[in-house]
């Protein structure tokens, strides 16, 4: 059914003053010149979740150059640009009934704006206006027959956009992706561009710090230049594959670098300050998280002989300690294929990280269940090829095992590897001390959830995101607050959908690793739309990494594994 502008306006005028439930009569599809408005689902009352509306313009009418709207990655960048354009237009209009979504400093693949071979589509959430429980028909007509089509024209008619700004947005995105894809060939795990602004405005803002920020400057010995296909050249600090330790006095900017690296798995918008802070895509932040649930993790590389006699090759608890939770986070990251670990002393369990000589003397080895990370960081590298970037200002214990030691002094990094080696008495040019590989990380057994492991008791609408940090799954709540690389509530929404998707995959034979690969392949093929059952309007979702989907699964207290 397709009707015209006057149809919808007239219908809404007729509905004015009638009870709210009558809004559902406007479900359907309407043409406004080049714009098609789809009213997919109408809310049942003014307090229910908003109505789902899409607007669409055909490719021919939109008039975008094909060279920036064909490739999948380019489409993500263009969609991001258009989303920001639309968000600004709505703010300028002061129209708060229409929700388009609010992107942050990163460029994520989202459902909010979709570009396909046929055209451009925005997915809106609209709060249809009411007075009490009565329809405000004229206001609704304003929103749906004027504001919404106008928004589509503002976003999707290329002739009205700043074409140069759009091109630059796409090119910056391409360049960041290219640099990330080249890290591996250069033997690097991360890169921090000169002049990057790493600190944020405040603890609760993701915007760059103002003029007080000291721009990043690479030490000479680590400086590398990338010349990109676009002709752009970017110079900065290269962090090689291996063990890198960041030291320095308190408040000298150590954690700030690590936090920027965590975000470096995502592309950033121009002006963020972290456009050229690039980490390889699997880089994973590993922290202590006491109280979390753990199901069947093999944490034996770090923890054995617990006083309870618990089997740490299949470690299960509803309430992990600081050290066991950090060990679980680490082995789970390995399971999802992490090739780089990012660890900050501020969020680590000290007894997981180190043990000094006097403590070794006082407590006999067989009474200490923990083999600290300092003893495992080299085997991780040699047996699994996993690099570590670690902030450690309080202990020199990692000097012996580091390939590279960077010292921060008032936010300025220096390469102090040679001096650190001297201090531990290593021969000039000697390799970091390597314990004989003992195969601890060689073979981690696959974890296979039981069939029905993810079928929560209440069947209808079982998974739902509650803000950034929580997924409600059946009757239980999954706490995601510790995931610093989960950065947008729309990703949390997609994680909730992913859990439903996983529930269908798990059959008692498919491992967690296989299931995550299946989701990633589906997302690559169908885009983030593919993860929902809704064909038309998927709501507002953003693509999470497999790492974060796995993290949610691993924190689900109802997870059950095949023995």
Among 149, 253, 322, 538, binds ligand ADP (CB under 6 A): 253
Query: How does DSSP assign 249-277, residue by residue?
Result: -TTSSHHHHHHHHHHTTS-B-TTSS-TTE
Q: Cβ-count burial of 518 within 10 angstroms (0-12 exposed, 13-18 middle, 19+ buried)?
A: middle
User: Which residue, 254 or 421, has its beta carbon nearer to Mg ion?
Assistant: 254
Asked whether position 274 contacts ligand ADP by CB under 6 A, the answer is no
The secondary structure of residue 436, as a DSSP letter, is: P
CB of 253 to ligand ADP, least distance (A): 3
Least distance between ligand ADP and beta carbon 256 (Å): 3
Task: Answer yes or no: are the C-beta atoms of 289 and 326 closer than 8 Å.
Answer: yes
CB of 128 to ligand ADP, least distance (A): 43
411 binds, among ligand ADP, Mg ion, none (CB under 5 to 8 A by kind): ligand ADP
Q: How many whole angstroms separate alpha carbon 494 and alpha carbon 15?
A: 36
For Mg ion, the closer of residues 252 and 421 by Cβ is: 252
Q: Which residues, 6 or more positions from 155, have their beta carbon under 8 angstroms from its beta carbon?
A: 82, 85, 86, 89, 113, 120, 122
Looking at the Cβ atoms of 37 and 277, the one nearer to ligand ADP is: 277
Look at residues 313, 443, 447 and name the one whose alpha carbon lies nearest to residue 383.
443
Q: Is residue 287 close enough to count as binding ligand ADP by CB under 6 A?
A: no
- Contact status: 255 vs Mg ion (CB under 5 A): yes
Q: Provide the minimum distance between the beta carbon of 344 and Mg ion in the complex, in angstroms, as a whole number.
A: 6
User: Distance (Å, rounded) from C-alpha 503 to C-alpha 510?
Assistant: 11
Strand intervals (E) in 81-174 = 98-99, 113-115, 119-126, 130-131, 134-135
Nearer to ligand ADP, 289 or 344 (CB): 344
DSSP symbols for 441-468 = TS-PPPP-BPTTTT--S--TT-EEEETT
d(CA 45, CA 39): 16
Nearest distance in Å: CB 372, ligand ADP: 21
CB of 185 to Mg ion, least distance (A): 32
Q: Which does 365 bind (CB under 5 to 8 A by kind): ligand ADP, Mg ion, none?
A: none
Residue 411: name the closest of 275, 246, 191 by CA.
246
By beta-carbon proximity to ligand ADP, the closer residue of 199 and 493 is: 199
Name which of 260 and 523 has its Cβ closer to ligand ADP. Answer: 260
What is the nearest approach in angstroms of ligand ADP to the Cβ of residue 209? 6
Report the residue number, 411 or 506, with the smaller CB distance to ligand ADP: 411
Q: Which of 87, 194, 255, 472 binds ligand ADP (CB under 6 A)?
A: 255
CA distance 423 to 411: 23
Options 105, 147, 154, 256; binder of ligand ADP; rule CB under 6 A: 256
Give the nearer residue to ligand ADP in terms of CB position, either 253 or 372. 253
**Does 346 interact with Mg ion (rule: CB under 5 A)?**
yes
Q: At what angle do helices 72-93 and 163-183 cross, to 10 degrees?
A: 140
How many residues contact ligand ADP, by CB under 6 A? 15
Member of 5, 11, 75, 254 binding ligand ADP (CB under 6 A): 254
**Residue with the two structure tokens 């010149």:** 33
Cα–Cα dist 160/394, whole Å:
56
Per-residue binding string, ligand ADP, 28-67, x by CB under 6 A, is ----------------------------------------
Nearest C-alpha neighbor of 515 from the set 336, 354, 392: 336
26-59: buried (b, 16+ CB within 10 Å) or exposed (e) per residue?
A: bebebebebbbbbbbbbbeebeeebbbbbbbbeb
Q: From the list Mg ion, ligand ADP, none, pick the one residue 173 interacts with, judged by a Cβ distance below 5 to 8 Å according to partner type.
A: none
Q: Which is nearer to ligand ADP, 47 or 251 (CB)?
A: 251
Secondary structure percentages of the chain, helix, strand, coil, to 5: 35, 20, 40
Contact between 263 and ligand ADP per CB under 6 A: no
Per CB under 6 A, which of residues 142..201 are in contact with ligand ADP? 198-199
Alpha helix stretches (DSSP H) within 20-71: 59-62
For the CB of residue 511, give the shortest distance to ligand ADP in the complex, in Å.
37
Shorter beta-carbon distance to ligand ADP: residue 320 or 389: 389
Per CB under 5 A, the segment of 304-312, 340-348, 397-405, 526-534 that binds Mg ion is 340-348
- When binding is defined by CB under 6 A, the residue of 132, 250, 307, 533 that contacts ligand ADP is 250
Q: Which residue stretch of 129-137, 179-187, 244-252, 422-430 sits at the interface with ligand ADP (rule: CB under 6 A)?
A: 244-252
Q: What angle do CA 211, 485, 404 make, to 5 degrees?
A: 75
> Could you give the CA distance from residue 549 to residue 222 in angstroms, rounded to a whole number?
34
Nearer to Mg ion, 8 or 247 (CB): 247
Dist. CA 507–CA 76, nearest whole Å: 34
- What character string, x for contact with ligand ADP (CB under 6 A) and - otherwise, covers 300-329? ------------------------------
| Min CB(125)–ligand ADP separation in Å | 35
Q: How far is CA 433 from its chain centroid?
A: 35
- Give the residue with the Cβ less far from ligand ADP, 255 or 395: 255
Residues between 205 and 224 that touch ligand ADP (CB under 6 A): 209, 212-214
Binding site for ligand ADP (CB under 6 A): 198-199, 209, 212-214, 248, 250-256, 411
Binding site for Mg ion (CB under 5 A): 254-255, 346
């Amino acid at each position: 059914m397709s009707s015209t502008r006057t149809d919808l306006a007239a219908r809404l005028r007729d509905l004015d003053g009638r009870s709210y439930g009558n809004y559902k009569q406007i479900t359907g599809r309407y043409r406004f010149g080049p714009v098609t408005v789809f009213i997919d689902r109408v809310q049942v009352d003014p307090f229910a979740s908003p109505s789902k509306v899409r607007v669409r313009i055909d490719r021919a009418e939109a008039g975008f150059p094909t060279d920036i709207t064909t490739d999948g990655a380019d489409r993500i960048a263009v969609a991001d640009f258009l989303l920001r354009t639309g968000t600004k237009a709505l703010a300028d209009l002061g129209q708060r009934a229409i929700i388009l979504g609010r992107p942050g400093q990163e460029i994520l693949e989202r459902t909010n704006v979709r570009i396909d071979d046929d055209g451009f589509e925005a997915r809106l959430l609209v709060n249809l206006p009411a007075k009490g429980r009565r329809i405000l028909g004229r206001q609704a007509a304003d929103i749906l027959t004027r504001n919404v089509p106008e928004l589509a024209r503002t976003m999707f008619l290329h002739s009205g956009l700043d074409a140069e700004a759009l091109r630059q947005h796409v090119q910056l995105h391409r360049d960041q992706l290219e640099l990330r894809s080249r890290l591996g060939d250069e033997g690097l795990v991360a890169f921090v561009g000169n002049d990057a602004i790493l600190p944020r405005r405040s603890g609760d803002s993701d915007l760059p710090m103002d003029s007080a920020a000291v721009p990043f400057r690479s030490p000479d010995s680590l400086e590398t230049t990338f010349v990109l296909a676009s002709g752009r050249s970017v110079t900065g600090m290269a962090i090689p594959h291996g063990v890198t330790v960041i030291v320095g006095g308190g408040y000298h900017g150590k954690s700030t670098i690590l936090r920027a690296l965590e975000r470096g798995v995502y592309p950033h918008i121009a002006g963020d300050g972290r456009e050229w802070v690039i980490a390889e895509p699997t880089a994973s932040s590993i922290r202590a998280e006491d109280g979390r649930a753990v199901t069947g993790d093999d944490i034996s590389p770090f923890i054995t002989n617990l006083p309870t006699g618990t089997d740490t090759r299949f470690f299960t608890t509803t309430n992990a300690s600081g050290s066991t939770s950090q060990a679980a986070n680490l082995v789970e990251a390995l399971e999802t294929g992490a090739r780089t670990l990012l660890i900050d002393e501020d969020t680590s369990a000290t007894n997981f990280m180190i043990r000094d000589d006097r403590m070794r003397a006082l407590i006999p080895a067989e009474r200490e269940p923990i083999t600290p990370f300092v003893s495992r960081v080299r085997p991780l590298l040699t047996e699994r090829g996993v690099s570590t970037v670690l902030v450690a200002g309080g202990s020199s214990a990692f000097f012996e095992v580091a390939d590279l030691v960077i010292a921060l002094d008032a936010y300025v990094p220096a390469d102090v590897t040679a001096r650190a080696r001297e201090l531990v008495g290593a021969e000039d040019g000697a390799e970091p001390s390597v314990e004989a590989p003992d195969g601890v990380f060689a073979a981690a057994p696959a974890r296979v959830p039981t069939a029905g492991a993810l079928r929560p008791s209440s069947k209808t609408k079982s998974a739902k995101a509650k803000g950034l940090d929580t997924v409600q799954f059946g009757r239980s709540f999954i706490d995601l607050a510790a995931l610093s690389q989960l950065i947008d509530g729309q990703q949390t929404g997609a994680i909730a959908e992913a859990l439903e998707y996983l529930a269908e995959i798990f059959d008692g034979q498919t491992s967690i690793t296989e299931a995550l690969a299946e989701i990633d392949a589906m997302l690559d093929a169908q885009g983030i739309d593919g993860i929902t059952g809704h064909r038309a309007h998927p709501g507002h979702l953003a693509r999470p990494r497999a790492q974060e989907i796995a993290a949610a699964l691993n924190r689900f207290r109802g997870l059950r594994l095949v023995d």
